[in-house]
Amino acid sequence: MSRRLSAMGSFFVRPPVRGRGFTLVELLVVIAIIGTLIGLLLPAVQSARGSARRMQCMNNLRTLGQGLLTYENSRKNFPPGATSNGRSKPLTGAYSWGALILPFIEESALYSGLNPTSGGPAKDATNQPLLRTALKAFRCPEDRGPETWDVSQTGNNGDSGEYILNGGLSNYVAAHRAVSAFGSGVYTSGTDPKVGGFFLDSKTKVKDIADGTSKSIALSERVWMYPAGYMQTSVGIYAGNWAGAGGDVRGDASWVQPTSFAPARPINDPTASRTHRSLSSLHLGGGVNAVAFDSSTRFISDNIDHFINPSGNKDPNDAVDSVLEYLIAIKDGNSVSFP
């Protein structure tokens, strides 16, 4: 009897039931789903980042465009593409529009240190540390180039005098001419019907922009270089300098190359080099940003109408005969809107 009560009074504990785990197949399915989601989201993330960088590039151009307008309001003309500062040609170095608008983009101290209204930024200038200043307003965030020019980066020893060695890099260049720039010994002037708003010692006024300030490009962009694998090539475009041109300036081509554009090739042409003085960028989907003389910003597609003659290059004597060229020339008589 006591044995029976003892058995009845005892507690029977059921062994714990373990949760069912993932099988290998299920785990592989989960991993595959996560990988698919990442694959779907990554392009969207990259696109969003690319859009943000493009917008920052636009903002930089707007800042520079407003600097140009403020300069014009103060001096009653836009800054020259480059200035001789009263020296006879050929010149040794020439400060550019970028150096001249410094006080109008909150860089007064740098402007005072350089004193760009006197002489030119020679390659061996004593103010080289100032010339090397990296200015974010002149850099497209999409670009992959260095902060400053350095001879060792390109292998170019500067004997052509086309760049300030060890100068701050700029992705933004000014509209010099609708077709290719003139070469050695030739300097264009305001009477040239193909000229843009910026040439040597130019003093372009608002009234000179006959095609309209909102329909004429003031500044656009140029990439440092296309990296290997991008557009199936690796080409040294070499952007420019915000301060100007170094070395000997013996014609328009030498100062235009590091400061301005006069496109001899289409936008983002993968075969273009620095000598073509064209426009380019690394923006997703191509194209370039630009700012007009009224400081409004625009996007210009690679597919914009731009006629290149059968030789593959624009010649200085070629006609202004396409939409991109109409937007560059300020008084060619063809007032067109940005497409």
Q: Which residue has the higher pLDDT, 338 or 231?
A: 338
Residue 17 belongs to a domain: no
Q: pTM of the full predicted structure? A: 0.82
Residue 19 belongs to a domain: no
- Sequence-distant (6+) residues with CB within 8 A of 268 are 231, 279, 280, 281, 286, 287, 288, 302
pLDDT in tens, 30-44: 888 888 887 776 666
Number of independent structural domains in the chain: 1
pLDDT in tens, 282-313: 998 899 999 999 999 999 999 999 988 767 67
pLDDT band, very low/low/confident/very high, at 316 (cuts 50, 70, 90) = confident
Q: What is the pLDDT of residue 164?
A: 58
Which tokens is 266 given?
């289409």
What is the total residue count of the chain? 339
pLDDT in tens, 152-203: 444 444 434 445 556 899 999 999 999 988 877 888 888 999 999 999 999 9
Residue 86 belongs to a domain: yes
pLDDT band, very low/low/confident/very high, at 19 (cuts 50, 70, 90) = low
Instruction: Name the burial class of residue 284, with classes exposed (0-12), middle (13-18) and buried (19+) by CB atoms within 10 angstroms of its CB.
Output: middle
Average model confidence (pLDDT) for the chain? 83
**Residue 312 three-state SS:** coil
Distance CA 225, CA 230 (A): 10
Residue 230 belongs to a domain: yes
pLDDT band, very low/low/confident/very high, at 61 (cuts 50, 70, 90) = very high
6-15, 38-47, 124-133: segment of lowest average pLDDT: 6-15
Q: What is the pLDDT of residue 1?
A: 47
**Given a cut of 70, is residue 124 above it in pLDDT?**
no
What phi and psi values does residue 210 have, to the nearest 5 degrees? -65, -30
Annotate 104-160 with DSSP letters as a single string: GGT-HHHHHHH-TTSS---TT-TTHHHHT---GGG--TT----SB--HHHH---STT
Which tokens is 139 given?
């850099």
- Sequence-distant (6+) residues with CB within 8 A of 210 are 330, 331, 333, 335
Residue 115 one-letter amino acid = N
**Given a cut of 80, is residue 58 above it in pLDDT?**
yes
Residue 295 belongs to a domain: yes
Q: What is the pLDDT of residue 13?
A: 53
Q: What is the mean pLDDT of residues 221-229?
A: 77
Residue 28 belongs to a domain: no
Q: What is the pLDDT of residue 274?
A: 76
pLDDT band, very low/low/confident/very high, at 230 (cuts 50, 70, 90) = low
Which tokens is 11 given?
């507690």
Q: Is 159 within 8 Å of 128 (Cβ atoms)?
A: no
Which tokens is 150 given?
């350095």
- Sequence-distant (6+) residues with CB within 8 A of 107 are 135
Residue 24 belongs to a domain: no
Residue 13 belongs to a domain: no
Which domain does 207 fall in, by range? 43-328
